[in-house]
Every structure is written in structure tokens, then in C-alpha cells.
Amino acid sequence: MRQAYAIVFLISCIHALRLLPINDNSNAMSFEEEEAECRAKFEHHSEEMLRLLDYPQLMCSPPFPEHHNYSFTKISEFPDTHLKIRKDPKHEHIIVEGSESSGSHFMIRLVAESFGILDLVTSDTTITDNVVLYHVSQPEGSACQFTKRVPLLDDYGCVETQTSECEMPLKTVGRLAIKVKDVVMNYRERGESIKVIQTVRDPEISMLANHKGHCTNGQLEIEDNEIAFKLMLEAQQLDEVTTVCYEQMLDEGEAYVARLFQKAGLNPHVQNFPKIQNGNAKYSVRERKCGFSSSAYMTLCPDSPHTKELHRMGCKELK
């Protein structure tokens, strides 16, 4: 009964949205004002109802603009930024990074459990006697619409300060991304142990998931997604870097993760391996297009079932 009501309600919402009058130039609202007004119509509904409707408030946001070529930095700035990191040769350093909503939080918990850390309190930075775990979304920090200048850091870890406490870069900048290749090179130069696990998810689905809170601006969301893919592509061939493909993990399960952990030099035997939930099931991609992010995904994840689907559409890997 509730599902039937939900369908009727959704149809009425779509009809109402289609009947909205077109603003003339003399009384036009900004995209942000239109989106806020539209989203307000759904605020009084319960979370259960919104879930049944597959979060209809997402219809309020401007649609993603078409993109067929690499287009990042049209709105945001990503300036190269040097960061002085404190030397720490006694720890092994593990960075788990990926585009927003790509499964990196799930992966950092698996990595933690491979080190016997079963009670991970925070998934951003964890320091034990022998290992430091860092989680970095690409980009990391505040929502995209609040920060248009995103430093691209050439190093990552505890910043050099006058105190003995570990102070992370995010404390001084609102938002950041890391140039994975440069970070690895700087760790090599210091003679420190570094491993990077980068998580890759179908970009159309990760952007839909990201749209729920991390980034509600369609154009900025595309830019964030593309810069993340660019950074991962630059680093994929490094020995210290392991790429985990979300859809392939769903397809092959625990054996896939164990194989990659073994290759990365991590403990492949995670005692309390959690059930892998299909986070893609709740999203429906209405129309796919071949563009930079889809081609980058195919390049990073050649054996993913979604790459096969993109091949059938005529999309190609990057050369």
C-alpha cells in the first residue's frame, strides 16, 4: 500500500515539476534558489518515504551537463601546492583514496582489519605503533559548492609543526586533493614505506551517490570526478599503488579483495570480512554517455563488468 502511494506521489511530483512556469529574464531565480525551493517541497516527508521514492529531491538539482572531453577546472581551481611533511620512517604508511562515494570508506576498514585494527574509530587518520592509515576522498573536505579553490598537494601526512602532535593538512585548508604520484615520489625520497589503495567506481553511479550530500552542483561534481580520475590514472602504474574496482569487487567478492591485498603486500586474511553490500542497486542510470570519466574508468578497471557494458555502447579506453 505504501509503495502504491509512493508511486502516485512521485507521479504527481514529476507532473508538478513539469508544470513549473519558465522564469522570464525580469524575475529569474538563480539555479541555487530554484533548487532550494524545489527541495523544500520534500522536507516534510519521512526518510522511509524518500527512500521508497528513491530520493525524489535529487530531481531538483540541475541536470549534469553533457561532457565528451576532459573538462575539469572550468569552475574550480586546482593549484599545485607543496606541503612540508614530518619525517616518519618508523611507521608503514597506507593511503586509501578515491573519488567521492567510490567505496573508499569501506576499503579503509578492510585495510585496518588486515592490520588487526578491529575498532576503527575514525576513517580519516589512524595511528598505531607500526602503521598510519590515511583516508582521502578526492577531493577531501567541505562540500564542493562551498570551496572553489582546491589545493593539489604533492605530499601527505602529518604536517611539520612545532608540536609533537600529528596535525593533518585539512586543519588549515577547507578542501584538498592529493597528487598521488608526487606523494609516492616524496615518500620514496624520504626512504619511507608507502602503499596506496585507490578505489574506483562507475562514475555515473558514484556521482549519483555523491549528489546526496557531498556535492549538489552538477558541473562541480563532474569536475571533482574528473580530477579524481586524472590523479588515479597518473599513479596507476606505480609499484606502491593498487587499484580496487568497486563493480569487480561486487562481482567477485572476497576472493578479489584477498588477491589484491596479497599483491599489495597486505595481509589477505581478514578474519571478520564484512558482507559486501551492493551499493549500486539503489541507483538507476537513465542515460549513459561516453566521456572522459567513463573512458578513465575503463582504463583503470579493464575487467569490470561495467567496462564490458561501456564497450557495448561504443566507449573506448584512454590511449
Tens-level pLDDT at each residue, the chain (319 residues): 544 444 444 444 433 333 333 333 444 455 456 656 766 776 676 665 555 454 455 545 444 333 334 444 455 678 889 988 999 999 999 999 999 888 898 899 999 999 988 877 666 889 999 999 999 999 888 777 666 688 899 999 998 877 778 888 888 787 899 999 999 999 999 999 999 999 999 988 888 776 666 677 778 888 888 999 999 999 999 999 999 999 999 999 999 999 999 999 999 988 778 778 787 777 777 778 889 999 999 999 999 999 999 999 999 999 8
Q: Which grid coordinates are listed for 266?
A: 597486505
- pLDDT, position 9: 44
How far apart, in whole angstroms, are the C-alpha atoms of residue 114 and residue 254?
Answer: 13
The answer regarding whether domain 80-313 maps to CATH 3.40.190 reads no
DSSP sequence for 117-131? --S---SSEEE-SSE
Residue 234 CB contacts under 8 Å (≥ 6 apart), including other chains:
179, 180, 181
Give the phi and the psi of residue 92 in degrees, each rounded to 5.
Answer: -85, 135
Number of H helices, E strands in the chain: 11, 9
pTM for this one?
0.75
pLDDT of residue 200: 96
Integer Cα distance of 197 and 182 in angstroms: 15
Q: What is the pLDDT of residue 152?
A: 92
What is the rounded CA–CA span in Å between residue 80 and residue 305?
35
Would you say 198 and 97 are in contact if contact means Cβ atoms under 8 Å apart?
yes
